[in-house]
Amino acid sequence: MSRTTIYAGLAELESSAPTTQDMRGPKPRVRAVGGGPKRLTDKDAGLLDALDALEVARTIEDSIGRR
């Protein structure tokens, strides 16, 4: 981890030190609502259908004894 990153984190912690009031309530979110990576099913609408098809094919192979 770079020294710049460490100093930036320390400055952030010093500027927003929790008070007693802050510690009693729910913890603040690290990310904003809706932040982070999007769900794979949102990116590829056919993903669940493709996975279901693979599962069906695997189940059929298992039932007839091939692997």
Rounded Cα distance, 50 and 47, in Å: 5
Give the pLDDT confidence score for residue 67 in this predicted structure: 54
| Amino acid, res. 54 | L
Q: What is the largest CA-CA distance in the chain?
A: 65
Write the CA distances from 61 to 14, 36, 42, 58, integer angstroms.
60, 38, 30, 5
Give the pLDDT confidence score for residue 22 in this predicted structure: 53
Summarize pLDDT for 3-52 with one digit per residue, the tens.
Answer: 998 998 888 888 865 555 555 666 666 767 777 788 898 889 899 999 88
Give the pLDDT confidence score for residue 38 in this predicted structure: 86
Could you write out the DSSP letters of every residue in 23-57?
HHSPPPPSS-TT-SPPPHHHH-TTHHHHHHHHHHH
